[in-house]
Amino acid sequence: MEIEREIEQLHAASFGWAMSCCGRNHQDAEEILQDVYVKILEGKARFDGRSSLKTWLFAVIRRTAAAQARRRMLHDLLTAKWARRELDPVSEPADSAAQHSEISAALIEALRKLAQRQREVLELVFYHDMTIEQAAAAMHVSLGSARVHYDRGKKQLLAKLNGKLTP
């Protein structure tokens, strides 16, 4: 199957994007990517060739992550998980700084402080080597909006990194 081979080639990048979409939680990212693969195999997500496969796949990952976040919020609400969290304030097993180099840990920390759209566009452009236009398509926002998020996000990211990195 041709699409399977192409998706396999994009697997590492897809996993990285899934990590970004779920607050860098390894387990959640695996679950999201698994759901995306199931959607593709069951024909619920179809590639129609209007964009590149990578742009389309990233848009599916982003939508799936948003749906998972909504499901989780509802589940937490129904099971009163927020109340249990207050009693037991152990954080979720998110991506920890110990698993990364110093520069990556600083970058992750600075990215967490950005607005979601700014973080997304910066990751798509710098991490995934997309153009701003491709990033806008993956994020389902207009090109102008993506440019604004990119400019503001980049300035804020560099400011939060306190001169550790150059533009």
Partner 1 sequence: MNLRDAFGTLRSEDAARAPRFDRMWRLRTQRRGIPKLAFAAMLLVIVATIFVVRRPEPPRPSISAWKAPTDFLLATPGRELLEQTPELRGTYR
Residue numbers at the binding site for partner 1 (CB under 8 A): 4, 7-8, 11-13, 15-16, 19, 26, 30, 33-34, 37-38, 41, 99-101, 103-104, 107-108, 123, 126-128, 154, 157-158, 164-167
Integer CA distances (angstroms), 82 to 20, 36, 89, in order: 23, 28, 10
Between 15 and 47, whose beta carbon lies closer to partner 1? Answer: 15
Least separation in angstroms between CB 86 and partner 1: 29
Give the separation between CA 41 and CA 21, rounded to whole angstroms: 21
Between 93 and 142, whose beta carbon lies closer to partner 1? Answer: 93
Least separation in angstroms between CB 146 and partner 1: 17
Give the separation between CA 135 and CA 124, rounded to whole angstroms: 6
Extract the tokens encoding 52: 């590149």
Give the separation between CA 9 and CA 15, rounded to whole angstroms: 11
Least separation in angstroms between CB 140 and partner 1: 22
The DSSP symbol for 134 reads H
Least separation in angstroms between CB 89 and partner 1: 26
